[in-house]
Structures are given as C-alpha cells and as structure tokens.
Amino acid sequence: MSVFKRIMQFVKAVTARVTVEDGKYISAHLSAEEQKIFFAMSVADQYHSLRTAYTIERLIIEDKRSVDKEFLIRCALLHDVGRRAGDLTIRGKIFAVLITSLVPAFAERLEVNGNQVLYIYHHHAELGARKLQQIGLFKEAKIIAKHHATPKPDDPLELKLLRLADNEN
C-alpha cells in the first residue's frame, strides 16, 4: 500500500464521524444484535466499515454478476468487528502497520511474546468471525475470516468483492 494511501487512512481515522444518515443505513442492514457488535468497534473502524459497505454497493453495480447484496453489505459492515474500541487505538494501529511493514520478523516475535496490539491487528478477521458465529452468522463468518488471507483462484466472488472494497478504504 502506498504511503499516500496510508496517510489518507490516518486522516480519515482521525476525522471519522458516523452521521445520522449512516445510522439509518446501519439500522436498515443490521439487526439489533449485529448493531451491538458493530457499535462496539471504534468510531474510526465504524467509519471504515461504512465506507467499505458503500463501496460494495458501487462494486455490485459495476460488476453486474449476481450476488446477494444484503449479505455483502452485512459482511462489509461487520468485517472488522474483531477489533473492539480500545483494542487497537489509532496509535496502536500506526505502530502495528509500521513494525509489520518495516521489520516483520521482529513484529512476529513481539506478537508471539504477547503483544496484544499486534495480535489484534494480525488476527482481527478470525476474532470477528468467532463473534459472528456466536450470534449465528455462519455464512458471514466464513467470508470475514478470510478477508485478509492470501487470495486463491477459487475464492468466492463475495470474498473478492469484500477484499476489493476493504482495500479501497
């Protein structure tokens, strides 16, 4: 990812706000139980997930293949629920991105030795999938668990679109 894109991510995270209109969108696409998990994320992650969902809607229109739009929007809104507010602050995320990018072996050693920030950063997809399974969202959990995994040629279209939307945001 380019330095410019990382800087833009930082600016968006620091200035993130969830509007009343965003709240209506969330209510239209997530149940009360799903909203509880969504709103447990930091505002920056909520904002990122909303942007990812809005991008999913655009990608579905552009792609023209048949996909379950509601399912994909739910996946986009919930894809980062493995990071709760306070688990990974903006400062922590900057640390995780830099150390993982610059000295990956050292980052791995820190994580193995109990660095919680790096653990959450690297494993939030699996952690989120477990949360979703606990509320019966098994299909969503299957996609979300793999959204940071190395792409494979036989990945489902929904996973490919989620990754694309996530990477754009």
Rg of the Cα atoms in the chain? 16
Reading the block at residue 31, the tokens are: 């149940």
Whether the model clears a pTM of 0.85, i.e. scores above it, the answer is yes
User: Is the per-residue pLDDT at 156 higher than 80?
Assistant: yes
What is the separation of C-alpha 101 from the centre of its chain, rounded to a whole number of angstroms? 19
Nearest to 83 by CA among 35, 116, 50: 116
Give the per-residue pLDDT at 101: 87
Give the per-residue pLDDT at 68: 93
Task: Give me the domain span that covers residue 108.
Answer: 3-168
Total tally of structural domains belonging to the chain:
1
Residues 99-133 pLDDT 10s: 998 899 999 999 989 999 999 999 999 999 999 99
Reading the block at residue 151, the tokens are: 């792409």
Give the per-residue pLDDT at 39: 97
Residues in CB range of 142: below 8 A, 6 or more apart:
129
Give the per-residue pLDDT at 80: 97
Reading the block at residue 51, the tokens are: 């942007």
Give the per-residue pLDDT at 14: 73
Give the per-residue pLDDT at 1: 62
Residues 12-46 pLDDT 10s: 777 878 899 999 999 999 999 999 999 999 999 99
Residues 46-102 pLDDT 10s: 999 999 999 999 999 888 778 999 999 999 999 999 999 888 888 888 889 889 988
Pairwise CA distance, residues 73 & 79, whole Å: 10
